[in-house]
Chain A
Amino acid sequence: MLSAIVRRLLQTLLVVLVMSALVFAGLYLVGDPVLMLASPEATDAERELVRQSLGLDLPLWQQYFIFLGKAIHLDFGNSFLTGESAMRLILERMPATLELATLAMFLSLAIGVPLGVYAGLRPNSVGARGIMTGSVLGFSLPNFWVGLMLIMLFAVMLGWLPAGGRGPVESYGPLDLSVFNWEGLKSLLLPACTIATAKCALIIRVTRAATRECLPQDYIKFARAKGLREQRVLGIHLLKNILIPIVTIGGLEYGQVFAFAVVTETVFSWPGMGKLLIDSIITLDRPVVVAYLMLTVVFLATLNLLVDIAYTVLDPRVRLEAPA
């Protein structure tokens, strides 16, 4: 078990290294930052000086290792725009994305699992068919479209909820959160629902498939034959077993929400990491883009690892073993 985790950890490290090389190659080598930084009237000699001061005259592999060495210390340079450390800019925005993603995931699980179990129990009922068709809409409609429609309905026409921005924040230790006060929650609700629409559809499908797979199994029949109440059969025997795929998909999707928040945050002008990424891409603020990407790579890779480990805890039959 331990050696398997170590091996997966090494694999994860390798993935992070490969991705860092790709990010480096993709963003640092395309275009010439010197042309952007030096004034247009600069002579060739002056440009050469800038190039040397930035270390751009060194061979490629040396530049990469310098980049890597700094990256380990979370130093990705300063934003071209504000001059602040790129990493700090992102970390400042992180709590906003964190609460958005968490509430969205919570909503989609709270709605998706019961609906999915229902659709799995009565696959031919009208309700189940409606749920399944609805779920097709849920994950086929683009995220920004759903957000737009929600804004139109709840913000413009009904005027119940704000169309964008973040409510007042309160400090909880290192995190500034807005989810625990009413005004903040109101602002959070629409963007969270936007993300939850797509994720909920996926959770419904996964839950339904798992339920249908579990129902004909002997232990369910046995539990029923023992005369257990239906709530207990479903709530304990069924739920525990369908939890495995739900945790896997849920965990992986939670990571995806972090990245997909890019779209939703832009629609709702939510001041999170995703909005920062889009703004930085549009203003060509490379250090911020690179820092965001590296952070996301590490985050997603770690999440994949954690999901794999959670998998073995939930399902003793699965072992993190080396492939034969």
Chain B
Amino acid sequence: MSKLETDPALQAAEALAEPPTLVVPAHESLWRVFLAQFVSSKLAVFGFILLLACVVLAVFAPWIAPQNPFDIGTLDIMDSKMPPGSTNMDGTITYWLGTDGQARDIFSAILYGLRISLFVGFVSVSVAFLIGAAVGLVSAYFGGRIDALLMRIVDIQLSFPSILVALILLAVLGKGIDKVIYALIAVQWAYFARAARGAAIVERNREYVEAARCMSLSWHRILWRHVFPNCIPPLMVIATIDLAHAIALEATLSFLGVGVPVTEPSLGMLISNGFEFLMSGNYWISFFPGIALALVVIAINLVGDHLRDILNPRNEI
């Protein structure tokens, strides 16, 4: 294997076998084409900026938030359930979005919640992406029995609603951020597997794969270095839309009380905390985290919807 990889003639041949998207000059212009297509939709650009803003707010939450909502010492119980725009006793903090039942500043809580929600979403989608892509590529490349078996599993899993699968897994695993991530990976990998298989079946019969095979490259090298890069565009579409799905699902699970623990509230948990106060008119405790959640999910979907138009014109629905 190592001898094969150091052989210069082979490397040159492999570069030829490499799809044109990876050759540097063409690569650059393809990026430019992609960018030009992407900015053609104002809605998608708006979504992208919104998403970027959310990510920045989440990452820098400790520096932006006026209060650390998890530091019990800084909370003053006198300030609980304050309406939006009120200030605390000393006038040092203005609660722009009000406070909750434990005197937590809603704005700060949202920033920290956003952090957890986005973290759970990104991690679970990344892992599901890799697992799903691996399964899908292997399934498409080898075909036959392996393909039939793997796709049967995927079909069975996809015929059950993701919320139900996640609920049951969490019922077995228990609470916790890590467990929510496992559950989300378990419900999402199948989407990637199916998309990767679909893309790889088309690529499998292309000349560059044949060329790579003629050079007796190992199957994992062909799949990973040659086929996989060409399957990325449709998978990126799925990944974007799945990110929104994952964040929404995590929020739902936390809302139902089987997701993240109380000590690390995500947006869904914040909404759930405020739900009991909704009826008594303290709407802001649920409402603002709800708006934050909606903005994130909508932003990602606007980007994803447009990406699908650019990268995957076959798919109409």
A interface residues, Cβ below 8 angstroms from B: 15, 18-19, 26-27, 30, 133, 136-137, 140-145, 148-149, 151-152, 156, 163, 205-206, 209, 212-213, 256, 259-260, 262-263, 266, 277-278, 281-282, 289, 293, 296-297, 300-301, 304
**Alpha-carbon distance between A304 and B256 when the two chains are bound, in angstroms:** 28
| 21 CB-based A-B contacts, threshold 8 Å | A15-B156, A15-B159, A27-B168, A30-B172, A136-B298, A142-B297, A144-B256, A145-B248, A145-B271, A145-B290, A145-B293, A156-B278, A156-B279, A212-B316, A256-B161, A278-B256, A278-B258, A281-B167, A281-B258, A289-B171, A296-B164
Q: Please provide the chain B residues from 274 to 291 with a CB less than 8 Å away from any CB of chain A in the complex.
A: 275, 278-279, 281, 283, 286-287, 290
**Alpha-carbon distance between A149 and B278 when the two chains are bound, in angstroms:** 10
Known: A141-B248, A282-B257. A260 touches B163 (CB 8 A): yes
B interface residues, Cβ below 8 angstroms from A: 43, 156, 159-161, 163-164, 167-168, 171-172, 244, 248-249, 251-252, 255-258, 268, 271, 275, 278-279, 281, 283, 286-287, 290, 293-294, 297-298, 300-302, 305, 316-317
Instruction: Determine which residue in A142, A163, A293 has the highest number of CB atoms from chain B within 10 A of its CB, and name it.
Output: A142
Contact B168 A156 (CB under 8 A): no
Chain B residues with CB under 8 Å of A18's CB are 156
**Alpha-carbon distance between A2 and B297 when the two chains are bound, in angstroms:** 46
Partner of A263, one of B163, B168, B283, B298: B163
Contact B172 A136 (CB under 8 A): no
Number of A-B contacts (CB under 8 A): 105
CB distance from B221 to the nearest CB of A (A): 32
Known: A137-B298, A209-B317. A263 touches B156 (CB 8 A): no
Contact A144 B258 (CB under 8 A): no
In the complex, the chain A residue whose C-beta lies closest to that of B241 is: A140
Q: What's the dominant secondary structure at chain B's contact region?
A: helix
Contact A144 B305 (CB under 8 A): no
**Alpha-carbon distance between A296 and B165 when the two chains are bound, in angstroms:** 12
Partner of A141, one of B281, B287, B298: B298
Contact A148 B271 (CB under 8 A): yes
Contact B168 A26 (CB under 8 A): yes
**Alpha-carbon distance between A152 and B278 when the two chains are bound, in angstroms:** 7
Contact B297 A140 (CB under 8 A): yes
Chain A residues with CB under 8 Å of B287's CB are 152
